[in-house]
Every structure is written in C-alpha cells, then in structure tokens.
A and B are shown apart, each in its own frame.
Chain A
Amino acid sequence: DIQMTQSPSTLSASVGDRVTITCRASESISSWLAWYQQKPGKAPKLLIFKASTLQNGVPSRFSGSGSGTEFTLTISSLQPDDFATYYCQQYNSYSLTFGGGTKVEIK
C-alpha cells in the first residue's frame, strides 16, 4: 500500500498568515492527490483534487501543488473558518490511503 506522510502534524498560526502543509507519498502517485478539511464532529469536506484543482465552492485562498511524491496545500491568508484538521489522500491505486492529518490551531 502507498503510505502518505503529512507534516507538520500540528501547526499554530494567526488569522492572515500564509500556511503550507506538506504531504509525501511513499511512491509516485502522479497527480492523484486530494485534500480534505475536517472540523470537530463533522464529516470531511473535499477541497482540492488532482493535486491542484479546486472543488466547486472552495475559496480561492486554498491552493494545491505538486506531483509524483511531494505535494503541498497552501492557505494564502488564514481565516477564522480555516482552523480545522486537513488530510491528504492518494487515489492512484487501491488501497486508497490518507495522510495522518495536520491540525491548524489558533496561535
């Protein structure tokens, strides 16, 4: 199975900060990577797929980049609604696998 490793596991930031989360795959997954946001007690929400394509309705302050084994999720200017946990997910092959998550906390 392809292992997905996210860093950092926790990130403390302030409103207005630029935030970057990294996701690494144990082998090449081309651009078959998605990012999700999850708030406590809620289901995940799809943000980005195919490494850099924004899901409908997702604010443009979110962006994704990368290919192969290294990917990033960037929030250009952190908003109060963005404090949450973020997960990457590879869909290059079964088993579909997630990263361990990055919790974005208020500094």
Chain B
Amino acid sequence: NAGVIQTPRHKVTGKGQEATLWCEPISGHSAVFWYRQTIVQGLEFLTYFRNQAPIDDSGMPKERFSAQMPNQSHSTLKIQSTQPQDSAVYLCASSSGTGGSQNTLYFGAGTRLSVL
C-alpha cells in the first residue's frame, strides 16, 4: 500500500496562471479530503468527497478554486488565476469512510504551491 499519493510535490506558478494538483487516495478508501496548510492559518479544511460525490465544499474560496473526483482513484484541485496568497502546502487525505471511530485520515505528503 503506497499510501496517499500527491503530485507534484512542488509547483511554481506565475501570478494569474492556473495550477492543478493531483491526489490518488488509498485503494478502497471512499472519502477524500483537501486541506490547505499555512503558517498563519494552520490546517484549513477545503472540501471533501464521499464515493466520488462532493459532500462539503464550505472551505473552498468560491471564485477560483474547484475540486473534482472523476473516479475512485484520483481527485484534482484546480486553482485558476493563482494569486500570491494561494501559496501554501495543499494536503490530500483519504479515509475508509465508515462512521464512528473509522474516520481516521491518512495524509499524503502534500503539494507545495508557490505563486510568484
């Protein structure tokens, strides 16, 4: 089991460019989460999917951020017209998705986005 795989590990974009981040969850896990990590804000929840369906995107900046899960093996986070304040480490996590005590998150190594 390779764990949650995130690509790329580092991405540098110019202001106004688009960035697409990829996540491959652990095989068999039905829930996928995206978080943003910064020194100031800590770990901010962005969005999550269960069985590929979007469940809660309350943390997503509405205008430029979007997330998809076209199949059970990967999810993408797209940021359009990137701004310097989007610079952060973006973390993807998956869980088995069953209720109660089974909602332990398994995190990927993250993608460090730098917007110049």
> Do A and B associate with each other?
no
Taking Cβ atoms with an 8 Å cutoff, the residues of A that contact B are none
